Amino acid sequence: MHRAPLIMVCTCEIAGQVRGKAFPASELPARMTSGVGWVPSMTMISALGPTADTPFGLTGELILVPDPATEVQVEFGDDGEPEHFFLGDLRETDGTPWSCCPRDFARRAIAALQHEARLQVLAAFEHEFTYTGIEARGGAAFSLDAFRRQGAFGAMLVAAMTQAGLQPDSFLPEYGPRQFEVTVAPARGLRAADQAVITREMVRATAHRLNSRALLTPAPEPNDTGNGVHVHLSLLGPDGAPALPDPAGRFGLSPAGRSFAAGILDHQAALVALTAPSPVSALRLRPDRIAPTHVYLADRDRGASLRLCPGLQLPGMDPRRQLNLEYRAADATASPYFALGAIVWAGLDGIRRGLDLPPHADVADMDDAARSLAGIPRLPATLDEALDRLEATEAARDWFGPVLFDAYLRHKRAELRMVAELNETALCELYAQLF
């Protein structure tokens, strides 16, 4: 039977899921303007499926409009349909941005940083995931054996990402059982978040073509190493030159760089409500899980919630262009638009207030107990605690606007109520199905 090619236009909303509508490919020129119909309460669909709470009811009309810069068309060379989709913006019917559009949340933060501080953000997302197409073996962390046994998956994934317009940087077996990591080259502004969404979907699509799954959940099991997302950020000046480094500054950071980092640290307890925003996210942010538990900046310390990544001092390499901040308290249950937008808003708030790094930022690598004894603040132990911190953050109300702020808190608290009776094992099993 003949097939009519379909194209999907998608958004990645509060639940961290990529949702949208498909239309016949022949309609693409018209859909680039008119988009597809959308309903405000669709943004309140939980990761679990039901809409448990919504401020919008059944009223309202929106359009989801494709962004031509985000088109993905990937042929896998099998009998399956190609991946063909766009990422898009949620707009009112007159074309103006909807107050709860995820991409507009990030876009506004990026624009404010550029307008107020004359700085651009350059960012890249590292993704860890569990690939079910390989058996778990002890001692396989980072091994050639694990790389060999994953078979065609890695090569297919890199090919798919390349077709999708990404620049893959690395693919590797990671520390956990059946765990792998994929990274891409950094991109400016909103494109970095778009790349994160596309990367996740290429990981899932490739595993699907091999009759397997890629689990991006932060906690496949309660006590194993979790899957994180590390967001690398640097700043560029008006001329495109690196604005983060200053060899004479503390940590080798410029005044703007220190204030940007200090703003992230100042708000990080609230930020995890957007960057690690599921009930299982907190299971990864525990001691001895190769994940942060406390709020501090450190040089080369992978226990830090914000790590300073130094540039290579090798011939022909400019270390200023490699110096970056790595935000480590994130995972793939977060919409990349809310994660990147929130980090940028927090950094800009640090610049606005002229913040400098707190004294504990100089603390060397310590174990969890020593960090607590040193007075270093802990990250929230639960999503509920993180949401309380977010709600108490006055600056965040301005970042969101009143409608989105209310919607986000309602959405996440409704999700918590839906899983309140589940133990940790059941939670992990559920979110492994969802992510």
DSSP for 196-210, please give it.
HHHHHHHHHHHHHHT
Instruction: Kindly report the backbone phi and psi dihedral angles of residue 16, in degrees, each rounded to the nearest multiple of 5, phi listed first.
Output: 80, 0
For residue 370, pLDDT over 80 is answered with no
How far from 394 is each of 346, 390, 403, CA to CA, in Å?
A: 12, 8, 15
Token output for 43: 């943004």
Between 374 and 246, the higher pLDDT residue:
246
Look at residue 361 in the predicted model and tell me its pLDDT. 60
For residue 416, pLDDT over 80 is answered with yes
**Burial status of residue 138 (CB atoms within 10 A of its CB: 0-12, 13-18, 19 or more):** exposed
Summarised one tens digit per residue, pLDDT across range 50-74 is 998 999 998 999 999 999 999 999 9
Question: In the chain, pLDDT over 90 holds for what percent of residues?
Answer: 81
Summarised one tens digit per residue, pLDDT across range 139-149 is 888 999 999 99
For residue 369, pLDDT over 90 is answered with no
Answer yes or no: are the C-beta atoms of 273 and 412 closer than 8 Å: yes
Q: How far apart are CA 85 and CA 187, in angstroms?
A: 20
Answer yes or no: are the C-beta atoms of 95 and 69 closer than 8 Å: no
CA-nearest of 102, 132, 326, 100 to 197 is: 102
